[in-house]
Structure 1
Amino acid sequence: MKIGIPSSVSLDDSPASASIPEHVEKMTNVRVNPSSTSLTHEELDEARRSKRARIVKDFESDFVTYNIEDDPITFRDAMSSSEAKQWKEAVKSEMDSIVSYGTWVLVDLPLGCTTIGCKWVFKKKLKLDGTVNKFKAKLVAKDFQQKEGIDYFDTYSPVARLTTIRVLIALASVYSLPIHQIDVKITFLHGELDEKIYMDQPEGFVAHGNECKVCKLVKSLYGFKQAPKQWHEKFDKTILAFGFTLNENDKYIYCKVKGDKKFILCLYVDDILLIGSCVEIITETNSLLKNKFEMKDMGGADVILVIKLIRSTDGIAIFQSHYVEKIIEKFGYQNSIIAKTSYDSSVALFKNESGISVAQLRYSQIIGSLQYLANGTRPDISFSVSKLARYTSCPDKTHWGALDRVLRYLKGMVSLSILYGRFPAVLEEYSDVSWISKNSGCNGCSGYVFTLGGEAVS
């Protein structure tokens, strides 16, 4: 098929065709030959194709942003490490749970069907002081092999916003409310699958005599794209049956009022925070949930999403000192000179017009690490990180100098925390904007902060 000027129209005879509009030439980037009356699709595709150099993505390293732990990557790594005994126990515990829940049955692969692979994921759960609390092993399906419309349909993950979690911690401090934490075991095994999915047998647990068989999934499993959705649907149905109501602003917050007793439940995938006006209502809710799901009561919350909590007479402090130390160590800033501020406003930052980036991968990894920190407990670096993130695609030496300053500032402010006090018990908001700045590289910049209990929550 060809597109262009109809053959019945003569270019030589038509007054309108005496000259080609300039904007048409610019749009197609093609110089039209008057002797040719049409362009093929192939010619147009070639004209529209970008001329910039393409960089092949390396999914092993290019997309690592804030992975700062030293956990084993593969099953073989775990079994050959100095902590092999602990990892073997973790793997056995996971497999025992999977088998007890009847997650799959071994069958012959039906004709015309394909299997999805799986792998082991290892993680150390840390205590408040940074020492290992628990070795965790999860069998995870390789979801990138799933096909939309066949292996899954709708997907989402039940994740409460960090802003919401900070607000709840601030309220707990203002009103002296207890905060309990529950860890749901084998979370995604609770969800029922609607689709027919076949999976390879897991490494290290291939059934003897049935090596050629595959796992037909009956229940959901970590890694499946629909697994978080299936888990949340079951949890949501269960918790609403207990008389809880859903918060309209954050769909993973549930509230319950029983006389003069008030209670809030916060869900973050498999971690649950229980905040109530008294310990009795927390204990009651804990018992109700244990009757429906296998879970472990962690007691008073001290670590949430790598965010540490410490209670004192002054309130509740949240900080990520261990995470900051890991960042400093990973990127080699242990011996760097400390900076007093995270940003030097006298340094002008502009887009790198040369197109030649300086250590772009390492720059993006540091930015990713700092963004999680800034979004968690370090609003003091929010502006610096946000500004430097604009230049992630092509950083130059000036951008690196500014980023270096942020890391040197963190080295001197490792233990800085947010302390939510007992007052004021009111949400306050402050905002400001700079419409024009010669050193900003843009026309304007705005910022805001919401405080509760005297400190930032957003």
Structure 2
Amino acid sequence: MVKIKEELLVTIKSKAKIKITMIEGNMLIKKMMRMDQFNVKIKDHTQECTKLSNGTISLTTSLGVEQALEDPDWLLAMQEELNNFKQNEVWSLVERPNQNVIGTKWVFRNKQDEHGVVTRNKARLVAQGFTQVEGLDFGETYAPVARLESIRILIAFATHHNFELYQMDVKSAFLSGPIQELLYVEQPPGFEDPKNPHHVYKLHKALYGLKQAPRAWYECLKDFLLKNGFEIGKADSTLFTRKFNDDLFAFCDEFSKIMTKRFEMSMMDELKFFLGFQIKQLKEGTFLCQTKYIQDMLKKFDMENAKPVNTPMTTKGHLDLYEEDKGKSIDQKVYRSMIGSLLYLCASWPDIMLSVCMCARFQANPKECHLVAVNRILRYLVHTPNLGLWYPKGSTFDLLGYSDSDYAGCKVDRKSTSGTCQFLGRSLVCWSSKKQTSVALSTAEAEYVAAGACCAQLL
């Protein structure tokens, strides 16, 4: 059980009978209710757990290993994680060698859907990769990640051709990637072998937290897909394609069978939530937004109830940013966290790209005026949290590009700022706002530099 001191509002969806056990004062309250959706409001109460039709879900995440072992919900999640290790043949118990042994740690998280509803408990056993020695415990660590432009182009392409997008998830993906290095890790805290408490595990496959884990998983997946007739993308090495001349649904079934033969997969479902994006596939087109991400970000920086504004920056706001001598210095860590959160939001919000990039230039020594500018962007998000990208069906699929530039907008080095955007038909798939690398001697030169950057992106 966990003592919750602050007021908490939890939303749970279930059609099963739900048992809520709370202690209010000295009185024990137990209720059985059946609802499709209800809100549980807790204030200075003790909550045990919430039972759902598919098991038990604990709403507690800030706990140690000792507390988790006493909670049946988290104990079940930990056992499930160790079962994945056994199924994937991740390690084997051996005597302690005379070399570096990497520590292990349990991490507890509540998995949520696109609406922020807790769906299950996830316990992850991770390696303390910061103790690895370069050259001995790991070599190459680079692993490609999907480009956001590729994701948007894929969605626009599928919408134009009236395709439906589906998604599958590889369970404990990193545990499937073989590693080349000889590595040893400590036994999981709370699950030590009673007969061999001083033994360690020799790794055969990657573990979450290892430096080389992402690369090992990518190489494993790439080799598997190439052997099954897929081709790797030329512009994005995380995009794999395969030509299929038969029915689309037959291809989906075949792909599902191919993947489940090699990996443990979740059920195939319509693409709704991916990398923080909420995706709605409708008859008229596809809507891409980050509403949940915005709500979480506003809550993180305590801006939920801020006064909304209609624009992310004032008309001359970029000039105020260069008044570095005015105002006090602020916490760099908080400022950089705000900039990082906003930069990821730019993946579906092109209208804040310029203002965010302007504010990002002052992360080394942020002042109060810079914080005011960032807070204005957040206040703009309070005003428009549900905006996003709309990819309509039935439009042409021509590739178009637009560019623009100011002239000597930066007061420090007098460099200009380029702005570009690229469309596939009526679907916006790429955009940028970037300070030019050279000083333009005229407005025409600044415009040509911006046009060149736009053409390079088109190619």
Equivalent residue for 1:352? 324
Per-residue deviation at 1:188?
1.6
Q: Deviations over 1:26-71 (max 9, x none)?
A: xxxxxxxxxxxxxxxxxxxxxxxxxxxxxxxxxxxxxxxxxxxx98
Equivalent residue for 2:361? 390
Instruction: Trace 1:262-411 onto structure 2 (pairs within 5 A).
Output: 278-347=248-317, 348=319, 349-350=321-322, 352-353=324-325, 357-374=329-346, 376-411=347-382
Does residue 243 (structure 1) correspond to residue 214 (structure 2)? The answer is no
User: Runs of at least 4 residues of structure 1 off by over 3 A?
Assistant: 70-78, 353-356, 438-442
> How large is the RMSD of aligned CA atoms in angstroms?
2.3
Separation in 1, partners of 2:292, 2:423 = 25
CA contact (8 A) 2:65 2:189 kept: no
Which amino acid is the alignment partner of residue 325 of structure 1?
Answer: Q
Equivalent residue for 1:425? 397
Equivalent residue for 1:109? 96
Of residues 158, 164, 168, the one that matches 1:172 is: 158
Separation in 2, partners of 1:214, 1:369 = 39
| Worse-matched range after superposition: 405-414 or 311-320 | 311-320
Per-residue deviation at 1:121?
2.4
Q: SS state of the match for residue 188, structure 2?
A: coil
Separation in 2, partners of 1:196, 1:392 = 40
Identify if the C-alpha distance between structure 1 residues 137 and 451 changes in structure 2 by more than 3 Å, giving closer, same or farther.
Answer: farther
Identify if the C-alpha distance between structure 1 residues 186 and 119 changes in structure 2 by more than 3 Å, giving closer, same or farther.
Answer: same
CA contact (8 A) 2:185 2:201 kept: yes
CA contact (8 A) 2:164 2:281 kept: no
Does residue 450 (structure 1) correspond to residue 440 (structure 2)? The answer is no
Identity of aligned residues (%): 33
Separation in 2, partners of 1:77, 1:367 = 37
Separation in 1, partners of 2:73, 2:385 = 31
Q: SS state of the match for residue 96, structure 2?
A: coil
- Unaligned residue ranges in structure 1 (runs of 5+): 1-69, 262-276
Equivalent residue for 1:127? 113
| Worse-matched range after superposition: 196-205 or 102-111 | 102-111
Equivalent residue for 1:39? none
CA contact (8 A) 2:160 2:392 kept: yes
Per-residue deviation at 1:100?
2.6
Identify if the C-alpha distance between structure 1 residues 230 and 352 changes in structure 2 by more than 3 Å, giving closer, same or farther.
Answer: same
Q: SS state of the match for residue 168, structure 2?
A: strand
Q: SS state of the match for residue 94, structure 1?
A: helix
Q: Deviations over 1:69-90 (max 9, x none)?
A: x983664497289xx4443322
Which structure is larger by alpha-carbon Rg, 1 or 2? 1
Separation in 2, partners of 1:224, 1:329 = 31
Which amino acid is the alignment partner of residue 335 of structure 2?
Answer: Y
Separation in 2, partners of 1:249, 1:231 = 20
| Worse-matched range after superposition: 408-417 or 435-444 | 435-444
TM (normalized to structure 1)?
0.76
Identify if the C-alpha distance between structure 1 residues 87 and 428 changes in structure 2 by more than 3 Å, giving closer, same or farther.
Answer: farther
What is the number of residues matched between the two proteins?
369
- Unaligned residue ranges in structure 2 (runs of 5+): 1-58, 431-459
Q: SS state of the match for residue 262, structure 2?
A: coil
TM (normalized to structure 2)?
0.76
Identify if the C-alpha distance between structure 1 residues 283 and 220 changes in structure 2 by more than 3 Å, giving closer, same or farther.
Answer: same
Equivalent residue for 2:201? 215
CA contact (8 A) 1:170 1:453 kept: no
Does residue 79 (structure 1) correspond to residue 49 (structure 2)? The answer is no
Which amino acid is the alignment partner of residue 358 of structure 1?
Answer: I
Which amino acid is the alignment partner of residue 61 of structure 2?
Answer: P
Q: Deviations over 1:89-136 (max 9, x none)?
A: 22211111112322212222123x121111122333322222123322
Which amino acid is the alignment partner of residue 409 of structure 1?
Answer: Y
Does residue 413 (structure 1) correspond to residue 384 (structure 2)? The answer is yes
Q: SS state of the match for residue 241, structure 2?
A: strand
Equivalent residue for 2:52? none
Separation in 1, partners of 2:362, 2:372 = 13
Of residues 97, 100, 116, the one that matches 2:84 is: 97
CA contact (8 A) 2:61 2:110 kept: no
